[in-house]
Amino acid sequence: MLARFRQINRRLDGRFFHDGLYYQRYKDFIAEKLPHCRTVLNLGAGSGLVLYGSAIFANQDINGRLVVALDLELERLKVNPHPLKMTANAERLPFRSHSVDLIISDHVFEHLDNPGAILREACRALKPGGSLIFATPNKYYYACLIAAVTPMSFHKWVAGLLGNPAIEMDLYPTTYKINSIRDITRLCEESGFKIDKILTTMEAPGYTRFLPPPIHFLFILFHKLVQSVPFLKPLHSNIVGVITKS
């Protein structure tokens, strides 16, 4: 029955939302920068089964670029399809100063205990004018507010109901210390970055797809309301941006 609910609800989502708008913006931002880059770091690449950074590079000709998938967790990296992988702590990147052209970070910011230290380290590794492109949830989105006050066992239970084993594999504790435009702006200023582009998007209600369709449809209506009312923009589900080394 849950599988049938998920199938119906995905079709409902497709009628009312452009699927993966924030991901498309993330890819567009990368595509703008990539032609000018020789060294690219996929920060927090994980298994590559859910996170999109690996998918961007794993199956395409990178034209001689050095593209590294980096993550703290070896077990996650083992199944990542990217050809060049490295385990390391993002607070001590194994790169010389001013040696990286571009860093991409997909659904990593929400897990950082010390985001200021990691931004400073990213700034150190980037060449002058180099950029960090990120996609991350907005901490004021209702699903993030719930995640912030519930245990990991609850997250795994919901992931199981959503029917995607890859989501369960890449679950990791969340902190939401750099998950609002205000937080990002402040930490960028403290770390040597300037904000080039930053935007929010409101996606389909993916966390309720296992519920009966009439209930899921009520969440769709709520999402459309938040999407259409300007002063509700701080409640959007995702933040995508480009920050550049000053």
- Write out pLDDT tens, residues 215-241: 999 999 999 999 999 999 999 999 999
On the question of pLDDT at 193 being above 50, the answer is: yes
Per-residue pLDDT tens for 99-125? 999 999 999 999 999 999 999 999 999
Q: So what's the pLDDT on residue 35?
A: 87
CA-nearest of 20, 2, 10 to 220 is 10
On the question of pLDDT at 19 being above 90, the answer is: no
Output the CA–CA distances (angstroms, integers) from residue 17 to 9, 201, 218, 220, 230, in the order listed.
12, 11, 14, 9, 17
Domains by residue range for the chain, with CATH = 2-245 (3.40.50.150)
Question: What tokens were used for 137?
Answer: 């949830």
Q: How many CB atoms lie within 10 A of CB 214?
A: 7
On the question of pLDDT at 200 being above 50, the answer is: yes
Mean of per-residue pLDDT scores for the chain: 88
DSSP strands (E only) in 160-212: 193-201
Q: So what's the pLDDT on residue 113?
A: 94
Q: Is 81 helix (H, G, I), strand (E, B) or coil?
A: coil
On the question of pLDDT at 208 being above 90, the answer is: yes
Q: How far apart are CA 94 and CA 72, in angstroms?
A: 12
Say if residues 125 and 132 touch (Cβ distance below 8 Å). Answer: no
Per-residue pLDDT tens for 115-166? 999 999 999 999 999 999 999 999 999 999 998 888 878 877 887 788 765 5
Q: How far apart are CA 106 and CA 43, in angstroms?
A: 8
pTM of the model: 0.90
Report phi then psi at 6, rounded to 5.
-60, -40
Q: How far apart are CA 223 and CA 38, in angstroms?
A: 40
Q: How far apart are CA 212 and CA 2, in angstroms?
A: 8
Per-residue pLDDT tens for 42-71? 999 887 755 454 445 544 445 678 889 899
Q: So what's the pLDDT on residue 54?
A: 47
Question: What tokens were used for 164?
Answer: 């995607």
